[in-house]
Structure 1
Amino acid sequence: MGQKTRKAGLAFMAAALAVTGAVYGVTRSASADVVAQLSGPQLVADMGAGWNLGNTLEASTNGIPSETAWGNPAVTQAFIDRVRASGFRTIRIPVSYLGHIGAGPDYTVNAAWLNRVQQVVDYAYSRGLYVLINMHGDGYKTVAGSWLICDASDQTTIRAKYQKVWQQVATRFQSYNEHLIFESMNENFDGQYGNPTQPCYSNINAYNQLFVDTVRRTGGTNASRWLLVPGWNTNIDYTAGSYGFVIPTDQYRSSTVPAAEQRLMISVHYYDPWDFTGTEDGTITQWGAAATNPAKKSVWGQEDFLDGQLKKMHDTFVTRGYPVFVGEYGSIDKTTYDSTNNRYRADYARALVTAATKYGAATAYWDNGWNGQHGFGLFDRSAATVTQQGIIDAIMTGIGSQPSNSPSVSPSASASAPPSGSPSASPSTSPSATAGACRVTSAVSAWNTGLTNSITVTNTGTTAVNGWKLAFTLAAGQTITAGWSATYSPTSGTVTATNASYNGTLAPGGSATIGYQAGHTGNAAAPTGFTLNGATCS
């Protein structure tokens, strides 16, 4: 998202809402991280619901990036903890470099700026979240000091500068595990809306290839890290269609990556229809099948169109082993014009996340920090409180609503599905919680002295389970070091995983997926002896 949604001089409104959400287990320090080589479907499931720290580290004034330049407060650990507690497991952090890049030929990035970027990354990474960082405003013609311009004349200088900056960033983070993902750039195009032009698209492809080669050659975890690349303006049609997008080769990746697996993701954004999601007037304020006023609903871009666009990405990329990341989506607040607008904003978010999950894509909601008229904000960043609980609930419902007949690219995809259940449920964890019948699948991905495990528990009974405890026994020598979508106690031996606030109700046939990372001393076997509220699971 570009300058059209930035709000300079924002006045932030404190919200009264507070939220409790997914409870994570033991957090990890960056220095203790190891690489867990997840497959594409496992990665998408593990990333869960995503959120953007927008209009912050990509904000700038007169070509100099500053996180408070567009009115947002400086990021704090407390605020990131609030985002995490709300159920988000992935945070995308847009970053601009611009005037913080020194002169050639070294193009040295200002150390203080890179240190701050790392500090904000650590706020999320140290809590076990996935983190994505990119090169954001450097490719916008409308941003002062931009230089990553695909139709500029001196492409030799641009590529040299681009290579040097990514080399420095990748080197700084080379020891971080795959919970950190790099994105080559943001919405890069020539600024003219319409069909892509050549050689501009060829230059975008060249940037992506240079990015992949540069990151891989810095070594460490970067040799196997997941990398994210966009097509023309992160547009679905111009990326999946025959308009010139070329997936980079990955010849320098680590030999430890299985030959049949990819380590590249495809980045797109979704804001259709724009008259609902972004146009700053009161004409179109409703969306979807539940809209009550046809005059306030766009004539296109409804559920069937959305589903078709995500299916297009699935058929073009996911089936070939390349996960898709919808790195931005969302809609602005138009309650000034229509008091029911937030209902449709929630419907839109739920539909997008549901379709993305169905078609093997991860997502990240665009939040520009602005609450009120025309804002995308879900949180009051100064107070570290929630302002749009309904939209957050819709996102969490969408991430857990994958149908059983959804497409997948490998048999492990179903075992790695995201959490299921209603975020509005009020689960009980008392001994009186219903037992029911259950089935469990477990998908372990191991490496050296570590492993991750994704566990899906399904209610095979005829009555709902309201509040659950899933008990299981770890193999000897295994200790849980981080967990998600449940709380885990103790961390070795016979463990009890207790539901989070948003996945505690399992309807008949319903399921929830939880997961953890563990260390092991040579035995990476899956856990055994599963019981759900005391009932033995098959």
Structure 2
Amino acid sequence: MSSRVRKAGLALLAATLTFAGTVYGVTRSASADVVAQQNASQLVADMGAGWNLGNTLEANNNGIPSETAWGNPVVTQALIDRVRASGFKTIRIPVSYLGHIGAGPNYTINAAWLNRIQEVVDYAHSRGLYVLINMHGDGYKTVTGSWLICDAADQATIKDKYQKVWRQVATRFQSYNDRLIFESMNENFDGQYGNPTQPCYSNINAYNQIFVDTVRRTGGNNASRWLLVPGWNTNIDHTVGSGFVLPTDHNRSSAIPANEQRIMISVHYYDPWDFAGQEDGTITQWGAGTTNPAKRSVWGQEDFLDGQMKKMYDTFVTRGYPVFVGEYGSIDKTTYDSASNRYRADYARAVVATAKKYGAATAYWDNGWNGQHGFGLFNRNSATVTQQGIINAIMSAVGGSQPTTPPTTPPTTPPPTTTPPTTPPPTSPGGTGACRVSSAVNAWNTGLTNSITITNTGTAAINGWALAFTLAAGQTIVSGWSASYAPTSGTVTATNASYNGTLPPGGSATIGYQASHNGNAAAPTAFRLNGTPCN
């Protein structure tokens, strides 16, 4: 999770908090019990519903990790037991190392910190839960002391340090059974939202390869352990394409059948951001059950979610690589809309059910904060449930009747406001006529979404259309829906999808896109439909 969301609701706890005074130590020996080897579909089914112990072992004060640095209490066995009793079978534990790593050439991890990591892992692992640990904040440019930076100059030193840190972590846990999974890193990218850059992506691919090779070579159960790797910023579109390279796994145990994988793919899902994470009261509802369309985002609804998960299925699951949606969720906006938690539950249910449909496991992002803009499901001080409705939604989705794999050819779901014709219209533009276009831009920091409605105001049908428009300077389209877009900046042409190419007189179609910007979030201009200027 990006740092701005990780700290959602915790702004008042700022940097004045002091380093936790807890003395860490080893509490028990590593579990060495044997778990039968599982293929991809068995693993995903057994992982069930997952939960993140967020804002804790990845929290830090001025680059020194401390589990209480961002306002959460010290983790207890009682909390983990409550999470387990609520139905969760997997716990993801984000971890930062940062200032707890010593100087080169050995880069020794502070013993007390590594002991505490093991202790928290044991809270969950000893209860039969799946546990995932990663290298979380070491790759964020916004974090003091970060060093796993993909566009930094001295990559040789970074890669050496990365290899030696992971070797220590993997060695510490080499006897743990397959319910422990390692994740190479978290949301690593160059800090600029938009299309990936080279050689930054090449370095991310290299980190993943170093991670796999290093863990395997430590031996023990690490030779067959499931390993989790992300693409660019755990972004779905930039993981199914844009330069992601699967690491090779030549050093794994020979006992693993040659046609089985032991590598998982990590992505995160917070779309649409204006509902899931944007800290205002504009968009507070989501999904088909929305009662106030003005409070629902113009994009990112059920059909978009289905399409994104299908991309991961088509690219990875069909090849034996399970997918893990390691973070998803939405913030509390009941301050603005008393019904907001209902839609948060609908959103969680849909993400989990759709991921399951396409062969993926999930883990809800919980930052420990309850109240306005928080992601919390539990009160960590009292180890009690605070959002039973969202938990119920997650459990109903993961344990429902949805198939664990989709049909051979999953149906394409058009937007709910559009009925596809029996015979799809031609996809090449054909026909002209008077047209009207409306545009609704919703902007934040360095990004925006735009919904465009095209209306045929002429007297003849338009069968197949291409809408040209000019983006404001500095804007680049990152993703789009209900049309194809090319190029991604300057003068762009949006070409109809198969289901919305026919516009009868008075008919309309709504399309949209997400774009990055450098401060200019102005709406596009100079709309032309099949060459005809639009009002």
Partner of 1:292: 291
> Is 1:173 matched with 2:157?
no
Q: What CA deviation, in whole Å up to 9, does each residue of 1:45-78 have, x standing for no partner?
A: 0000000000000000110000000000000000
Is the Cα contact below 8 Å between 1:10 and 1:72 reproduced in 2? no
Partner of 1:186: 186
**Closer/same/farther in 2, CA of residues 10 and 61 from structure 1, 3 Å limit:** closer
TM-score, normalization by structure 2: 0.72
Q: What CA deviation, in whole Å up to 9, does each residue of 1:171-217 have, x standing for no partner?
A: 00000000000000000000000000000000000000000000000
Partner of 1:358: 357
Partner of 2:159: 159
| Structure 2 SS opposite 1:363 | strand
Partner of 2:149: 149
| Structure 2 SS opposite 1:158 | helix
Tell me the distance in 2 between the aligned counterparts of 1:351 and 1:114: 37
Matches within 5 A, 1:449-464: none
Partner of 2:102: 102
Is the Cα contact below 8 Å between 1:183 and 1:227 reproduced in 2? yes
Matches within 5 A, 1:72-83: 72-83=72-83
**Closer/same/farther in 2, CA of residues 402 and 142 from structure 1, 3 Å limit:** farther
Tell me the distance in 2 between the aligned counterparts of 1:163 and 1:300: 41
| Structure 2 SS opposite 1:376 | coil
Is the Cα contact below 8 Å between 1:346 and 1:391 reproduced in 2? yes
Gaps of 5+ in 2: 15-27, 409-535
Shift of 1:400: 1.7
| Structure 1 SS opposite 2:91 | strand
Structure label with greater radius of gyration? 2
Percent identity for Structure 1 against Structure 2: 82
Which amino acid in structure 2 is aligned with residue 227 of structure 1? L
Is the Cα contact below 8 Å between 1:358 and 1:402 reproduced in 2? no
Partner of 1:228: 228
**Which deviates the most, 30-39 or 295-304?**
30-39
Which amino acid in structure 1 is aligned with residue 372 of structure 2? Q
Is the Cα contact below 8 Å between 1:30 and 1:125 reproduced in 2? no
Tell me the distance in 2 between the aligned counterparts of 1:404 and 1:97: 39
Shift of 1:33: 1.1
Partner of 1:131: 131
Shift of 1:3: 1.5
Partner of 2:372: 373
Q: What CA deviation, in whole Å up to 9, does each residue of 1:148-172 have, x standing for no partner?
A: 0000000000000000000000000
| Structure 1 SS opposite 2:141 | coil
- RMSD over aligned Cα atoms: 1.5
**Closer/same/farther in 2, CA of residues 322 and 297 from structure 1, 3 Å limit:** same
Which amino acid in structure 2 is aligned with residue 182 of structure 1? F
Is the Cα contact below 8 Å between 2:359 and 2:404 reproduced in 1? no
Between 1 and 2, higher relative CO (CA 8 Å, sep ≥ 6) is seen in 1
Is the Cα contact below 8 Å between 2:133 and 2:183 reproduced in 1? yes
| Structure 1 SS opposite 2:68 | coil
Matches within 5 A, 1:67-466: 67-241=67-241, 243-404=242-403, 406-407=405-406
Q: What CA deviation, in whole Å up to 9, does each residue of 1:349-401 have, x standing for no partner?
A: 00000000000000000000000000000000000000000000000011023
TM-score, normalization by structure 1: 0.72
Shift of 1:403: 3.0
Partner of 1:31: 31
Is the Cα contact below 8 Å between 1:286 and 1:297 reproduced in 2? yes
Is the Cα contact below 8 Å between 2:183 and 2:228 reproduced in 1? yes
Runs of 4 or more off by more than 2 Å in structure 1? 8-11, 28-32, 401-409
**Closer/same/farther in 2, CA of residues 256 and 76 from structure 1, 3 Å limit:** same
Tell me the distance in 2 between the aligned counterparts of 1:403 and 1:366: 22
Is the Cα contact below 8 Å between 2:32 and 2:176 reproduced in 1? no
Is the Cα contact below 8 Å between 1:354 and 1:402 reproduced in 2? no
Which amino acid in structure 2 is aligned with residue 177 of structure 1? N
Is the Cα contact below 8 Å between 2:231 and 2:267 reproduced in 1? yes
Matches within 5 A, 1:524-535: none
Shift of 1:38: 0.4
Partner of 1:501: none
Which amino acid in structure 2 is aligned with residue 132 of structure 1? L
Shift of 1:30: 4.2
Shift of 1:2: 2.2
Gaps of 5+ in 1: 12-27, 410-538
Tell me the distance in 2 between the aligned counterparts of 1:185 and 1:402: 33
